Structure 1
Amino acid sequence: MSFQAYLDNVEAKTGKTPQQFIDMARTKELTRHGDILDWLKTDYQLGTGHARAIAHVILHGPEFEVRHTTGPHRDASGVLELDGKRRPE
């Protein structure tokens, strides 16, 4: 599963975009990785992998290092969509 797919799955499960999670974490003044994971797991019942994906964008923004260029974990670019899944036009 690609990094973007993790974020899209979180949105499908919670109804919240990555940007909304960023905004909520700022409001709650959550800045530590462990605190963010606890919040996401407790309040949104996210598993560790999905919570870590959201925690990454909360702490580091949309850019990341592309490590997989082939296979099911590949990402097209090193920039994530934070405003929600792309809808067909």
Structure 2
Amino acid sequence: MTFEAYMNNIRTRTGKEPKDFFDQAVQAGILRPDTKTMEFVAWLKNSSGLGHGHAMAVWEAFKRNGWVPLSEAPAASAKRGRP
């Protein structure tokens, strides 16, 4: 399933856009500078009834919109001596 297919399915199932979930997460205090992906995913699954893949798609939408820090994987690779 493509990212857009996930987003369309989420809109159909919930009537919400990623920004709606973002606003809810901010109000609930779940989005902080130290929020981990799986912490958010667990919260979204419990609060919205979405499955794991759909919750991950919402997190990806947050990343694509610059609403959460991007992955630190490149920095972690550099620490292990990889380019």
TM-score between the two structures when normalised by the length of structure 1: 0.59
% identity of equivalent residues: 35
Distance 1:48 1:19 in 2: 18
1:46 aligns with 2:43: no
Tell me which residue corresponds to 2:2.
2
What are structure 2's unaligned runs of at least 5 residues?
67-83
Kindly indicate whether structure 1 or structure 2 has the higher relative contact order, using CA contacts under 8 Å at least 6 residues apart. 1
Tell me which residue corresponds to 1:75.
none
Greater share of helix: 2
Amino acid at match of 1:29: G
1:8 is displaced (CA, Å) by 1.2
1:23 is displaced (CA, Å) by 1.6
Deviations 1:45-71 (A, max 9, x none): 11111110012223x1338xxxxxxxx
What are structure 1's unaligned runs of at least 5 residues?
64-89
Evaluate the alpha carbon distance shift between residue 16 and residue 48 of structure 1 in structure 2; reply closer, same or farther with a 3 A threshold.
Answer: same
Deviations 1:1-42 (A, max 9, x none): 210110111111111111111121222232321121111211
* Number of positions where the alignment pairs a residue of Structure 1 with one of Structure 2: 62
Cα RMSD for the two superposed structures: 1.7
- Asked if the contact 1:22–1:57 (Cα under 8 Å) also holds between the matched residues in 2, the reply is no
Distance 1:28 1:41 in 2: 14
